[in-house]
Amino acid sequence: MDFQKVFDDHIQKFNDRVMPNRKLSRGILNSEGFAFCSISDHYGVDLIIESGVCNGGSTTILCKYFNDIPIVSIDSELKTEAVVRTSIFHNVTLINGDSHEMIPQILDAFKDSTIAVLIDGPKSINAITLGKKCFDHSHVKVIGIHDLFKSLYGKIKQDRVMFDKLDIPNRFITDNPEFVSTFKYLDGDDTGGYHPKYFTKEIGGYGPTIGFMLK
Ligand SMILES: C[S@@+](CC[C@H](N)C(=O)[O-])C[C@H]1O[C@@H](n2cnc3c(N)ncnc32)[C@H](O)[C@@H]1O
């Protein structure tokens, strides 16, 4: 898969529909949101499932970009802040529940859909396990798992090691150097510069990082 072409083909749409966009506390970076939206759009998905809403940062990106397809966003501790923030969007359904229970039901109920799943809670190995289960369904084309940065204070993270060893040939990870150098500007402040704080030795790369499993 020519990822650079996928990103080049969708950056204008992302800039038109999503940007400018304020990064929220505990939220994904705009560049990470862009990777998820462009790859999912490339697969022609017609349903997005999101696990982990928190303040509604990633949900907002998804609602803005996919303004013409349904988004189902689940959180086990759904916050009023997220409900209020996303109430301006007509295409999102928020569910207060555990994704381990909710996602299999949704995948069964929407067997005729082409689906992308973004997992940002549960975390770590639980996220990869849930992602793999979803990926086993033939109508799930894209899985994005957040927080797969390489290391924490110099210690290699085992979830990243597990992700890197997955027997899934078509994968992408947002700390890919070419992707970062081309799209880090999306994470910039009001002056247009990118935030150097997203490059750190502690995480061994750029930003919290989304890892993708792709059909
Ligand atoms: C880092 S926050 C999500 C941030 C959000 N994706 C964004 O970019 O703005 C993680 C969220 O995952 C939720 N969570 C953790 N485990 C979960 C589970 N098993 N099912 C659903 N939500 C879960 C937590 O309640 C928390 O609100």
What spacing in Å lies between the alpha carbon of 191 and ligand 1's midpoint? 30
pTM of the model: 0.96
CATH number for the domain harbouring residue 200: 3.40.50.150
Verify whether ligand 1 is closer than 6 Å to residue 99 (CB atom). Answer: yes
Give counts: helices (H), strands (E), the chain: 8, 11
Looking at the predicted structure, is the pLDDT value of residue 205 above 90?
no
User: Can you name the residues that pair with 72 across neighbouring β-strands?
Assistant: 49, 93
If pLDDT is split at 50, 70 and 90, which confidence band does 197 have?
low
Provide the 3-class DSSP secondary structure of residue 73. strand
The Cα–Cα gap between 73 and 51 comes to 6
CA 111 from centre of chain? 22
Residue 109: per-residue pLDDT: 97
Strand-strand pairing, 115-119 and 205-206: unpaired
For ligand 1, pick from 51, 60, 174 the residue to mutate: most ligand atoms within 8 Å of CB: 51
Question: Which atom of ligand 1 lies nearest, measured to the CA of 146?
Answer: 6
CB 24 near ligand 1, within 6 Å: yes
**Spatial distance between the Cα atoms of 138 and 119, rounded to a whole number of angstroms:** 18
pLDDT in tens, 52-97: 999 999 999 999 999 999 999 999 999 999 999 999 999 999 999 9
Average pLDDT along the chain: 93
Find the 52 Cα to ligand 1 centroid distance in Å: 3
Long-range CB contacts (< 8 A, 24+ apart) of 95-100? 98/74, 99/51, 99/52, 99/74, 99/130, 100/130
Cβ-contact 36, 179 below 8 angstroms: no
Residue 205: domain span: 3-214
Total domains in the fold of the chain? 1
Q: Is the pLDDT of residue 193 over 70?
A: no
List, for residues 133-192, the tens digit of each pLDDT value. 999 999 999 999 999 999 888 889 999 999 999 999 999 999 999 999 899 889 886 544
Region 37-50: mean pLDDT is 98
Which stretch of DSSP H or E encloses residue 28?
none
Ligand 1 site-directed mutation target among 18, 24, 26, most atoms within 8 Å of CB: 26
Q: Whose CA is nearest to atom 11 of ligand 1?
A: 52
Q: How far is the CA of 2 from the centre of ligand 1 (A)?
A: 31
- Residue 119 φ/ψ, nearest 5 degrees: -110, 115
pLDDT value, residue 176: 94
